[in-house]
C-alpha cells in the first residue's frame, strides 16, 4: 500500500508539473503571487486556522473531483486507508508547521477534515435528474447565459431579494451588482466545442464581438433594476455605484477576451476566475481603473487571433 501511495504521489506531482507548464509563465507567476500572499497573510497567530481550512478545502475539492475511481477500484486502492496515506503525505508540510508553531486547533481541523473526507470514496452524481428551468428568451447564441442562469438563478434571485428587503442599507445595491458581475464572469469558464462557435457567425472577428456584445448586454440587463432602484432611493450615492457598474462592464468584455485568448474547446478554465475576480474590485482604487481596459484590449487582440486560428 505504501509503495502504491509513493508511486501514485510521484505520478500526481509529475501531472501537476505538466499542468503548471501548460499554464504559461504569466499565469504561473500570477498564481504564485496569490498563493504566496495568502500564505504570508495567514502565517500569523490566530490566522493558521483559516489557513488550515483553505488547505482542507483544496483536499476536499481534489477528492470529490477526481476521475480515478475505476482505476483505483481495479487496483484495489479505492479505500479510506489509501486516501489517508496519500493526503497525509501531501499535507505533511502543513502538519509539521502546525506542530512546530504550535497551533493544535489548525492541526485538528486539517487532520480531522482530511480523514473525514477519505471516508467518502464513491463518486457523486453531479447532475440532478429533476427538470431544470430553461431560459428561452435568451438568444441561442448566448449559451453561456442560458446555461449560467440555469445553474446560478438562485444567486440572481438573492441579488434582487436582499437589497429589496434590506433597502435601508444603500451599499447592498452595489454589492448585488458586484455579485451579478462575478457570477456572470463565472459563466465564461466553460468552453464550447468548435462546431457551436462556427455556427454563430461567419468570421472570427464577428464572432468575438458578438460574444462581447451578448455578455455586456445581459450583464446590463440584469444589473439595470438594481441601478435604477439605487438611483431612485439614494441619488446622492449613485457615483460609486455607476463607477462599479462601468468597471464591471469592462471586466465582462475582458472575461470574454480572456476566455477566447486561451480557447480550449470542450474544456474548463476555472483559474481564469482568479484574475477576473480581482479586476472586479479595481473600482475601489480609481488609479487602477484603466487596468481592466488595457487588459481587455491586450487579450481582445489575442482572442481574435486565437479564434481565427481555431474557427477560421
Partner 1 sequence: MITIQNLDFSYGKSPVIKNLNWQLETGKIHGLVGLNGAGKSTLFNLIAGWLKPSNGTIMYNEIRLDRSICALMETNPQFYPMIKGQEYLDVFKLKNNQFDISAWNNIFKLPLNEVVDNYSTGMKKRLDLMGILAMNREILILDEPFNGLDFEAVRLVQQVLPLLASKGKTIIISSHIAESLTAVCNSISLLRNGEIGLQIRKDSFANLSEMIDLHGGIKTEDFPL
Nearer to partner 1, 112 or 134 (CB): 134
The SS3 assignment for 216 reads helix
Bond into 102 cis (ω within 30): yes
Q: Which of 23, 62, 123, 143 binds partner 1 (CB under 8 A)?
A: 143
Q: Which of 195, 239, 270, 287 binds partner 1 (CB under 8 A)?
A: 195
168 part of the interface to partner 1, by CB under 8 A: no
Residue whose cell numbers read 429589496: 164
For the bound state, the minimum distance from the C-beta of residue 156 to partner 1, rounded and expressed in Å, comes to: 16
Q: Which of 49, 196, 233, 242 binds partner 1 (CB under 8 A)?
A: 196
Q: Which stretch binds partner 1 (CB under 8 A): 26-34, 139-147, 236-244, 294-302?
A: 139-147
141 part of the interface to partner 1, by CB under 8 A: yes
Q: Which stretch binds partner 1 (CB under 8 A): 38-46, 196-204, 215-223, 242-250?
A: 196-204
Binding mask 118-137 for partner 1 (x = CB under 8 A): --------xx-x-xx-x---
Count, in order, helices (H) and strands (E) of the chain: 13, 0
- Contact, 88 vs 114, CB < 8 A? yes
Alpha-carbon dihedral sign for residues 17, 20, 26, 28: negative
Nearer to partner 1, 7 or 150 (CB): 150
- Report long-range pairs for 56-61 (Cβ below 8 Å, ≥24 apart): 56/109, 56/110, 56/113, 56/114, 56/117, 59/87, 59/90, 59/91, 59/113, 59/114, 59/117, 60/113, 60/117
146 part of the interface to partner 1, by CB under 8 A: yes
Binding mask 239-278 for partner 1 (x = CB under 8 A): --------------------------xx-x----------
Nearer to partner 1, 196 or 243 (CB): 196
- Contact, 177 vs 226, CB < 8 A? yes
Query: How far is Cα 309 from Cα 68, in angstroms, rounded to an integer?
Result: 34
Phi, psi of 190 (to 5 degrees): -95, 140
| Angle subtended by helix axes 25-41 and 2-23, to nearest 10 | 120
Please give the residue ranges that form the binding site for partner 1 (CB under 8 A). Answer: 126-127, 129, 131-132, 134, 140-141, 143, 146-147, 150-151, 190-196, 198-200, 202, 265-266, 268, 310, 312
Amino acid at each position: 500500500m505504501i509503495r502504491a501511495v509513493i508511486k501514485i504521489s510521484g505520478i500526481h506531482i509529475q501531472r501537476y508539473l505538466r499542468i503548471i507548464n501548460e499554464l504559461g509563465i504569466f499565469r504561473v507567476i500570477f498564481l504564485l503571487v496569490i498563493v504566496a500572499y495568502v500564505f504570508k497573510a495567514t502565517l500569523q497567530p490566530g490566522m493558521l486556522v483559516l489557513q488550515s481550512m483553505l488547505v482542507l478545502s483544496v483536499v476536499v475539492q481534489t477528492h470529490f473531483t477526481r476521475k480515478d475511481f475505476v482505476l483505483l477500484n481495479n487496483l484495489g486502492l479505492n479505500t479510506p486507508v489509501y486516501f489517508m496515506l496519500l493526503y497525509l503525505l501531501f499535507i505533511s508540510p502543513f502538519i509539521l508547521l502546525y506542530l512546530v508553531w504550535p497551533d493544535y486547533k489548525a492541526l485538528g481541523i486539517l487532520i480531522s477534515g482530511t480523514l473525514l473526507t477519505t471516508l467518502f470514496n464513491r463518486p457523486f452524481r453531479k447532475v440532478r435528474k429533476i427538470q431544470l428551468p430553461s431560459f428561452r428568451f435568451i438568444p441561442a447564441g448566448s449559451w453561456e447565459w442560458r446555461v449560467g442562469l440555469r445553474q446560478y438563478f438562485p444567486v440572481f434571485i438573492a441579488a434582487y431579494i436582499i437589497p429589496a428587503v434590506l433597502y435601508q442599507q444603500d451599499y447592498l445595491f452595489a454589492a448585488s451588482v458586484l455579485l451579478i458581475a462575478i457570477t456572470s464572469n463565472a459563466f465564461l469558464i466553460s468552453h464550447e466545442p468548435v462546431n457551436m462557435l462556427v455556427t454563430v457567425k461567419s468570421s472570427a472577428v464577428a464572432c468575438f464581438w458578438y460574444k462581447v456584445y451578448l455578455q455586456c448586454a445581459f450583464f446590463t440587463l440584469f444589473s439595470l433594476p438594481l441601478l435604477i432602484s439605487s438611483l431612485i432611493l439614494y441619488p446622492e450615492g449613485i457615483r460609486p455605484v455607476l463607477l462599479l457598474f462601468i468597471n464591471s462592464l469592462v471586466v465582462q468584455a475582458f472575461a470574454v477576451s480572456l476566455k477566447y485568448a486561451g480557447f480550449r474547446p470542450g474544456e474548463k478554465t476555472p483559474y481564469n476566475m482568479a484574475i477576473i475576480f480581482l479586476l472586479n474590485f479595481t473600482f475601489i482604487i480609481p488609479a487602477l481603473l484603466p487596468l481592466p481596459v488595457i487588459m481587455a484590449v491586450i487579450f481582445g487582440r489575442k482572442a481574435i487571433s486565437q479564434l481565427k486560428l481555431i474557427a477560421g
